Structure 1
Amino acid sequence: MDILQNVVNWLLSLGAAVFVPIIIIFAGLLVRMKVKDAISAGITLGVAFTGMSMLISFMTGAISPAAEAMLESTGISLPIVDGGWTTLSTISWSWPYAFLMFPLLIVVNIIMIVLKKTETFNADLWNVWGKIFTAVCVVAITDSVPLAFVVATIQIIFELKTADVHSHRIEELSGIPGVTCTHKMVFFGAILYPFDLLLRKIPAFNKDFDAEALKEKVGIFAENHVLGFILGCVFGIMAKWSPAEILTLGVQAATALTLFPVISKYFMQALSPISEAVSDFMNKRFEGRSLIVGLDWPFLGGSNEIWLAVIWSVPVTLLMSMILPGNEILPFAGIINIALAVPAYLVTKGNLPRMLILCTIGVPCFLWIGTAFAPFITDLANATGAVDLAAGQMISNSSIDGPVFTYGISQVFDVVNGNFIPVVVLVAWLAGYTMYYRELRREAKNAKEVAAAERA
């Protein structure tokens, strides 16, 4: 048992940029890719992950000081420290049974593939900590390890089924065939979807309007480098920085927005041969059946709409944190909120005006749930010793992935203590999820029928 734990911990300690490519190389060899092609695809994927991570870190490092300056100028004090996703991950991996989640994820995936309950092969094993965090929360409330693994299994199944129905829309948006997203951040689409349905009924918002359409409207001012420069300068001005600092931030933002689409091309270069090999392998053994590869979100990072929504959400989040009743978290580590922008992108199919509205609507969910989780996460941090906190200090995360689902499913057993809020939250999420799931399934079914008719 200790050997398995050590092996799993060592593999995961390599990080996504190394671990996921290793999984992809083994998957490629398993479906009979040439060794050189499998290794090339894996390394290219590692380059893409590393490049995207570097750009996000660069962008966060450029924007966060401006956001901090904006908040400091208001004189508002919020007591909960934003530790980002790394705080939750550190707490998760401190659980003694954490290493068992890794084989559980693989076994559940294999069983569902064999039983034809999913078409997704989940290669995003590095993000297994999200399931571990759910399990840790369940154990903290119920003191039942078996129940914790049951709930984690339910989350794994939801992730696979959600990845299945998203696959067509993701291929349509990304241009990468045979790939989907198994990250739980897409669960937030269930909350955004009902609002998007209402926005679609408004003629002004029910038109194709992505980043390309924006370029047609305003020309050079919508080019990545120019738009990034403008937005960066606006942030610098809002932070009351000097002219030199404002211009520097403008160039940094322009650099980030210019390079994101460049990096995304490497995801396509790496994943296209893998998806083709997986499809060929499955067609030879299971007539008419093909698997899709489930990955973390970064392969979608070439979409300008995502980054425009991310940048838009920064001042919105700061403003909301100051005026939102019930919020006590100071948003810093999670200020670049990918977990908000990606679901909005998928729900709207990249419709930029609706994305910005949905992101504005969605920000309070992240702040409220970050605040609600704070006492619980602080207790876990102190109990496990995973995070060093000063006496009386509280910590949480202002950008929890799939916040409504995570809070609802991990805290639902607190009903035995008279807390019915998680139950209400989970029911609301399930209602939105059912609606959204049905639309995605209809869309995928219609696409298959159209493709079949074209082949006939």
Structure 2
Amino acid sequence: METLQTVVNYILNDLGAAVFVPALMLIIALCMKMKFSEAFISALTLGIAFTGMSLLINYMMGSMGDAAASMAKQTGINLPAVDGGWPGMASISWAWPYAFLLFPLTIGINILMLIFNQTKTLNVDMWNVWNKIFTAVMVSYISGNVLWGFVAASIQIILELKAGDIFGPEVEQLTGIPGVTVPHFITLIAVILHPIDELLKKIPFFNKPMDADSLKEKIGIFGENSVMGAIIGFLLGLAGAYGIAGSLQLAVQAATAMTLFPMISKLFSQALSPISEAISEFMRKRFSGKEVYIGLDWPILAGRNELWVAVIITIPVLLVMAIILPGNKVLPFAGIINLSFVVGALLLTNANLGRMIFHGVVSAPIFLYGATYFAPYITRLANETGAAEVSSGKMISWSTFEGPDFRYLLSTAFSGNILSIVLFVGWLGLFYWLVKSRNKYNETLKAAE
């Protein structure tokens, strides 16, 4: 067990995603009979793409996040739960004593589902195993049973792979990269947003094309990535009390990020297209054309500027909600850039910016109340593992808590709450509806090719 834990920690903490994922893709490419030189170049380019996108996301999160945090301070509200964001949750999750067991569990379930044709997704995004660990910890604490924690994590793994299957064609369309998908827990917010989205489609305003390209045609220069970024950055700077000079600097920083995101995203296509073609050819020859998606982390979608426009526009909404919602105990800070809704909304709406922003508004209370509910348990994990020091009278949480609906229902259902069991069955019904709806949509994509 100690050896396994050492290996897992080395892969995830020492190597990191920018080394581990390309190395894994190199092995896969060679198994698919690619020439070593071609496979090596593709894998190295993938590492460059991950590194470049990581730098750019950190740059965006830093500049925009600091401005949003400054805006939060202007409220003068003091809430007891400190927002540690997803990095804080990831670090304390890996400190859980049973964390390393989720690594082989994730791989094992994926392999079994591939063998028995229950998924088309091969998930190589091992960094986000921490998300399954976090679920296991929360369910274990609330139910009082570690075994239920592992059962809950297993359910999450299966649902993520299924989500990877149904969103694969949309990921291909949005990124231009064949044979990839995003089997990330972050996409499962689409389960509860889907019924709302179906209603929005019936409203003429929300049913018109509203992606970045459509906006450029309608509003000219104001639809340009750089101009949209500059306007949003400047307004956010003013709201954060940066003054004119600071706001102009933030405008240029936002414009820079919005311009560079699509450029960096092209490296993913350059790296993955040859590997995807090799996998497709291998499967066609040996498995009667069996289709396989390579599951990667969500940053392969970060080149879509609709994602960043929607998430920045909804920052003030999240802050206002935090102030006015009764019973909320979390002030958005480190997690104020709400990626937890926007990735699922991007895929669900086919990059319709109007519907994405609407989903960000209506889902804000769900995230804040989820963060409030789980704050005592997150604080307990931090204190027990020594991963963070939380002073008496304070708590640590995550304002844009991923999957608050799923984690709350599973945690309370495994505690024997009958209502939660019924609601979780209903949640699975909504998931089934989403699957059927996306499969129908995917058929229209195939017919249009």
Both proteins in one fold, TM over 0.5: yes
Match of 1:89 in 2: 90
Whether 1:52 aligns to 2:50 is no
Q: Shift in Å at residue 265 of structure 1?
A: 0.5
For residue 430 of structure 1, what is the aligned residue in structure 2? 428
Partner of 1:394: 395
1:128 aligns with 2:108: no
Query: Aligned partners of 1:377 and 1:420: how far apart in 2?
Result: 24
AA matched with 2:303: G
Structure 1 counterpart SS, 2:415:
helix
> Counterparts of 2:337 and 2:124 in 1: how far apart (Å)?
25
Counterparts of 2:228 and 2:143, CA distance in 1: 50
Paired with 1:157 and 1:223, the residues of 2 have a C-alpha distance of: 39
Q: 1-side partners of 2:62 and 2:442: how far apart?
A: 39
Cα distance in 2 between the residues matched to 1:427 and 1:368: 21
What corresponds to 1:348 in structure 2? 349
Q: CA deviation at 1:425?
A: 5.5
What is the letter of the counterpart of residue 305 of structure 1?
A: E
TM-aligned CA distance change 1:2 to 1:69, over 3 Å: closer
Where do 5+ consecutive residues of structure 2 fail to align?
Answer: none
Name the CA distance, whole Å, in 2 between partners of 1:55 and 1:420: 45
Q: What residue is the counterpart of 2:367 in the other structure?
A: 366
Q: So what's the TM-score if we normalise by structure 2?
A: 0.95
CA, structure 1 residues 402+442, in 2 after alignment: closer, same or farther (shift >3 Å)? same
Query: Alpha-carbon deviations, 1:234-275, whole Å to 9, x = none?
Result: 111112222211111111111111111111111111111111
Within 2, Cα distance between the matches of 1:79 and 1:145?
A: 28
Secondary structure of the equivalent of 1:125?
coil
Cα distance change, pair 19–271 in 1 and its aligned pair in 2 (3 A): same
Query: Which residue matches 1:439?
Result: 437
Give matches, 1:100-119, under 5 Å.
100-119=101-120
- Of stretches 394-403 and 193-202 in structure 1, the one that deviates more from structure 2 is 394-403
56-65 or 361-370: which moved more? 56-65
- The amino acid of 1:30's aligned partner reads C
TM superposition shift of 1:7: 0.9
Contact persistence 1:165–1:440 (CA under 8 A): yes
**Which piece of structure 1 moves more, 406-415 or 156-165?**
406-415
Partners of 1:57 and 1:421 in 2: CA distance: 41
Matching of residue 12 in structure 1 with residue 12 in structure 2: yes
Secondary structure at 1:117 match in 2: coil
Q: Which amino acid aligns with 2:87?
A: T
Q: Which residue of 1 aligns with 2:229?
A: 228
Q: 1:142, CA displacement in angstroms?
A: 4.0
Q: Structure 2 vs 1, CA of residues 424 and 313 (structure 1 numbering), >3 Å: closer, same or farther? A: farther
**Helix, strand or coil: the match of 1:116?**
coil
Deviations 1:284-336 (A, max 9, x none): 11112121101111111111111111111211111211112222101111111
For the residues of structure 1 that align with 2:138 and 2:346, how far apart are their CA atoms? 29
8 Å CA contact 2:332, 2:399 repeated in 1: yes
1:319-360, CA deviations, whole angstroms, 9 ceiling, x for partnerless residues? 211112222101111111222111111111111111111111
User: Identity of counterpart residues, as a percentage?
Assistant: 52
Q: Measure the CA separation in 2 of the matches of 1:235 and 1:2.
A: 48
Deviates further, 59-68 or 186-195: 59-68
Distance 1:266 1:54, change over 3 A: same
Structure 1 residue matching 2:337: 3-state secondary structure: coil
1:394-433 Cα deviation digits (max 9, x unpaired): 0011122222213322443233xxx567546534532332
Give SS of 1:373's match: helix
Query: How many residues were matched structurally?
Result: 448
RMSD: 1.8
Structure 1: distance between partners of 2:69 and 2:3: 45
Counterpart of 1:34 in structure 2 is: 35
1:41-440 aligned within 5 A? 41-415=42-416, 422-423=420-421, 426-440=424-438
Alignment partners' CA distance in 1, 2:275 and 2:287: 18
Letter in 1 for 2:10: W
SS at match of 1:395: strand
- Contact 1:179–1:293 under 8 Å retained in 2: yes
Deviation at 1:447, TM superposition (A): 4.0
The alpha-carbon distance between structure 1 residues 65 and 290, as it changes in their structure 2 partners (threshold 3 A), is: closer
* 1:76 counterpart letter in structure 2: I
